[in-house]
Amino acid sequence: HIAEAQTASTGEPSANQTAAGAAASDVQNGDDIVVTGIRQSLARAAEIKRESTAVVDSIVAEDIGKLPDMTTASALQRVPGVQVVVGGNNEIVGARIRGLDDIITTLNGREIFTGVGRGFSFQDLPAEALAGVDVYKSNSAERLEGGVAGGVNMRLRRALDFKELTIAGSARATYLQEAGSKNTINPALSLLVANRWDAGEGEIAAMVGISYQRNKYARPVAWNDWTRATSAGPAGSPPNLHAPTGFAAAIEFGKYERPQGNFSLEWAPDTDTKIYVEGLFAGYRGNVYQARPTFRAFTGTSFEATAGDTCEDFAVGPDGYYSGNVRSPANPTGTGTIRQLCNATGYTARNLEYYTATVANKARTDIYVIATGFNKQIGALSWNTDISYESSINRNNSFRVDIGKRIAELVQVRDNNHEVQATMPGNPMNDPAGLAFANGMTEDINRSRGTLWSVMSDAKYDFDAGLLDYVQAGVRVARRKAGFEQYLGGPPAPGGSFVTPLTAAGLPSDILSQAPGVPQMNDGASFLQIDPRYLTQESIKRQLRTLYRISPDTPAFDPTRDYDAQEKSYAGFLQAGYEFSLTDAISVDGMVGARLTRTDRDIAGSGRVTDPATGTSRVVLVNRSTSDTDILPNASARIQFGGGLQARFNYS
C-alpha cells in the first residue's frame, strides 16, 4: 500500500511521487511502504549547499505550509552555525550567525526590516508562508551590502510554482498547561489557493496564501537582587557576610496574534519571459502583562543570615556595595576598603518593604511589501528587474503602576544548584489589607515607521566553455526613511511610597486581580496585582494620572526623544564566475567580484539645552548629514576532489 500525501505540483516530482515510482515493484510484492516528503526536503537543502559557490545553508519546506517549525525564527535554529534566543514570551526570537547579530535579511531577494531598525523580527513571519530559507555565511557582489555576520533570504512561494489548481491548508493546536491561570489551546491556521490559466499569449498564474496564529503564554522567572555587605543592613545584622539585598520575581503573561497574507500574480507570455506582481502583509498584535514582585530585605528592622563556607576579599564601599574607588597609597582619597566577606546561603528579613509592579503593554506591528518586475532570457543572457516598496509600522503603549506595603517576614535560601527559593509566611502579598501606591507611575508610548523604495536590475551572460563561466553585473537604487517618536516618564507615588492607600484612589472595587504564581516564590502561590486589563483602558489611565497629580490627558511625545532619518543608497556590482580542471579528478570553480556603494544620510532630531545663568531650558533642533563610498570585494573557490569530497575558500 502506498500512502500518498497531497502535494502541490511544483514542476518537479514530489518526494511521494519519486518514492512511489521507485518502489512500484515492491508494492506488487505486497510490502508496506510509508512515504513522506522529508527526504526530498533534506536532499534539496543539501543540494543547495553543495552546488552554491558561496557558503550557504538552507531549509526547504517538505510541502506547502510545512516548514518544520511554527515561525521563521524557530526554523533558523536548525541551521548549523545559527544561534537563537528565547524571548520574554517563551518564543524563539532573533538570530545570530556564528555569534554575530549584524544580519541583512531579504525576502525573495529584497531587503526587509521591522520598524526603524536594520533587523527583521523573524518570529513575525509564520513559517506557513515560506517555501524555504537560505542562510548566507559568506557574501558576494550580487547580494545586498550591510550584513557583516551574513544574510538570510526568505523565499515565498510564487504562482508559477504550481502546474494546476492547488488548495492546501493546515491546522495546528498547541495545548499549554501554564499559560496564565488556566489551561489553553493555541491555534495556528493556514490556507493556500493557486491556479494557472491559458491566456492565449502564454499562461497566467495566481496564488493567495493566508495564515493566523494566536498564542497565550506565561513565563515566570526569579532572581536575587544586588549583593551587599551585611554590615550595611539593619542594626544587629551579621558584620562579615555578603548577601543579596533582596529577592525579585516576574511573571510575564498574555497573548499575541500574528495574521499574515501574501499573493503572487505571474504572466509568462512565452517560455523566456516572466512578469510578476507580488505582495506580503505580516502583522503582530500583542497584549502583554507583567507582575513583578520585589522584596527589599535590607529595609527590614532585622536581618539574620546563614554563613556559607566561601570567603573572599571584596572591594567594599561605605554603602556596602562593590567599590571601584578603593583607598590605597596611590589613591589616598578612596572611600572603599578591601574586606574579607563570606557568602550567605540564606537569610531571614523581618518587617521589610515589598511592592509589585504591574505593567500592561499593547503592541502592534504592520509590515507591507509590494513588488513588481520581470525576468527575461535572451539566449545566453538573462535579465532581471525588480521594483519594490516596504512600509513597516510599530506601535507600543505601556503603562506601569506599583503597589506595596511592609510585610512581616521574608525567608530566602538557595539550594544546591544555586536556585533562588523564597517564602513569605502567610502569603501577605495575597492580602489587600494595607496596600498603598509605591515608587511611581510610568508610561512608555512610542511609534516608529520605516519605508523603503528600491529598484534593482541585473544581467548575467553564460559562456558555453572555457575558463570564464559567466559574467554578471547590476545596479540598485534605494531610498529609505525612518521616523521615531516617544514619551517615556511619569511622576512619583502621590505623597511618597507607601503613603496613599489603594482604597483612597476611588478605583473600581475589582481593581485587584490574581497574578499567576512564580514557582520559586511561595511554591507558586498566586498574589495580588493591579488588574493589567484596567491599565489598557483610557478612563482608568486618566483616573490614575489625576491621582498622581499630573494632567489626565495622554502625554504628548517628547521632542527630545524623536528623530527623522533619510538614507539614499546607490550600488553597482560586477562579478565573474570561473571553472577549470587541475586533473581528471580535481576541478576548481568560483567567482571574483566587487560591489561599489554610495550612501547619503540625513538625520534630524533635537536636544534640550539649559542656560546655566537662568536655569531655563529650551529644545534645540539638530541636523546632521553624512556620505560614504565603499568598494566591497569578494572572491571564492570551490575545489572538487572527486568522490563527493570538496573544499571551499571565501573572502568578502
Condensed to tens digits (0 to 9), the pLDDT of residues 257-282 reads 999 999 999 999 999 999 999 999 99
pLDDT given for residue 7 in this prediction? 34
Residue 441: in which H helix or E strand, if any? Answer: strand 436-462
pLDDT given for residue 416 in this prediction? 58
Condensed to tens digits (0 to 9), the pLDDT of residues 366-397 reads 999 999 999 999 999 999 999 999 999 999 99
pLDDT given for residue 149 in this prediction? 85
pLDDT given for residue 492 in this prediction? 94
Rounded average pLDDT over 532-559? 93
Condensed to tens digits (0 to 9), the pLDDT of residues 182-215 reads 567 889 899 999 999 998 889 999 999 999 999 8
pLDDT given for residue 10 in this prediction? 37
What residues contact residue 85 under an 8 Å CB cut-off, 6+ apart?
A: 92, 93, 94
pLDDT at 9 over 80: no
Burial of residue 593, with CB atoms counted within 10 A of its CB: 0-12 exposed, 13-18 middle, 19 or more buried: buried
Evaluated on CA atoms 553, 559, 560, 566, the torsion sign reads positive
- Is the distance from CB of 211 to CB of 188 less than 8 angstroms? yes
The separation between CA 306 and the C-alpha centre of its own chain, rounded to angstroms, equals: 42
Place of cell 511544483: 10
Mode of pairing for the β-strands spanning 2-3 and 33-34: parallel
How many helices (H) and strands (E) would you count in the chain?
5, 28
Rounded average pLDDT over 160-164? 91
For residue 560, give the DSSP letter: G
Condensed to tens digits (0 to 9), the pLDDT of residues 16-66 reads 333 334 434 444 455 665 545 566 667 777 887 788 777 888 877 765 556
Burial of residue 69, with CB atoms counted within 10 A of its CB: 0-12 exposed, 13-18 middle, 19 or more buried: middle
- Is the distance from CB of 147 to CB of 139 less than 8 angstroms? yes
Degrees, nearest 5: CA angle 267-272-274: 25
Cα distances (angstroms) measured from residue 69 to each of 38, 121, 172, 361: 13, 16, 11, 27
pLDDT given for residue 38 in this prediction? 62
pTM: 0.84
Condensed to tens digits (0 to 9), the pLDDT of residues 595-619 reads 999 999 999 999 889 999 888 989 9
